[in-house]
Every structure is written in structure tokens, then in C-alpha cells.
Amino acid sequence: MSARISVVEGDITQQRVDAIVNAANSSLLGGGGVDGAIHRAAGLELLAECRTLGGCPTGEARMTRGYRLSARWVIHTVGPVWRGGDHGEDALLASCYRNSLALAVEHGIHSIAFPAISTGVYGFPLGQATRIAVAEVRRFLEQAETIEQVVFVCFGRRAYETYVAVMGYPLNSLGQLKADP
């Protein structure tokens, strides 16, 4: 199972996968953080296609082409804004992962990279968000045989170490993976 899920530290726009997931806002018209980076790397045609979609509700996902990205597709999903945890945040974040993966299956996508949805400007606590991300992806992969590779792309060391810990990988004293999981 773990062989189909990997964790890397890096920039999601540089990933060589069939689809990258964007942590978008509900307008789908671009923003800061990972959304801004994806639009900058993909070029203005991405924004033009996004304009045709009419937005996306929180927890759902929409797909576009990747334009100048090496990824052929971008799956835009809208994570919940953290409002203390009592406003359905966990369930909405889980549905971002499920709906993104469901779109990937529908379109015959074999490899997909996720950022840490909602953990930037939207303020979702990183550890809790990571546990949800890992649990949802693991559960989904049990019944989705066409998806061969899911990559969690961590922007920075703190996110990387959190993902590695939640995945249960052993780290050495330098914070490096001891062995391939």
C-alpha cells in the first residue's frame, strides 16, 4: 500500500505526474500560496479555462488542463477555512481528497500530487490536516486500482516532517528517511 503513496519536499508545480491538485478558493480565479504558484507556472490560459467553470463549492473539485505545467491536468479543490473545528472542517477537508481522487479515476489519471490543502492561509492545523489527508488517500486507494502513485508535496521542512511522521516512516537524527518505506 505505502509503495503507492510517497512524500516529497518541494514545489508542486515541478512534479512530473498526470495531475496536480490545486488548493483553490471557491471563485477558482486564482489567489496566493499554491494557487498563485500554479497559475504562474501554467500561464494565463489556465485562468481563462477556470473562468468558464463558474466557481466550486467547498469540499468539491473541478478539473482543467495543465497548459505549461508538466502535469497534463490540474484538479482544483476548495478546502475549508479553519473556524475552530466545529464547522464541519474535518469532513469538508476529507471530501476534498475523495472528490479529487474520484475525478482522477474518472479521467484515467494514474499519478497525482497533492499539496497540504487548507494548511496555509486557510489555517487548518497541520497535524490534523495531515492525518485526514493520509487516511483518506489510503482508504481511497484500497478500492481504486487504476491510481498508481499519489505524491504528497510538502512545501517546507515542517510539513515534510509532519507527513513523514503521520505516514509512520522512521527518520534518523538528521530528519532524513532511514530507509525506503
| Catalytic sites, residue numbers | 35
Q: How far is the CB of 11 from ligand ADP (least distance, A)?
A: 4
Instruction: Give 121 or 144: the residue with its C-beta nearer to ligand ADP.
Output: 121
Query: Strand pairing partners for 62?
Result: 76
CA-nearest of 108, 110, 106, 114 to 148 is 110
Instruction: Give 144 or 165: the residue with its C-beta nearer to ligand ADP.
Output: 165
Q: Which spans of this chain sit near ligand ADP (rule: CB under 6 A)?
A: 11-13, 23, 33-35, 37, 79, 115-122, 153, 155, 159
In whole angstroms, what separates CA 44 from the centre of its chain?
21
Instruction: Give 27 or 144: the residue with its C-beta nearer to ligand ADP.
Output: 27
Q: How far is the CB of 163 from ligand ADP (least distance, A)?
A: 10
Q: How far is the CB of 80 from ligand ADP (least distance, A)?
A: 9
The span from the CA of 62 to the CA of 76, in Å, is 5
Q: How far is CA 89 from CA 81, 92, 96, 119, in A?
A: 7, 5, 11, 12
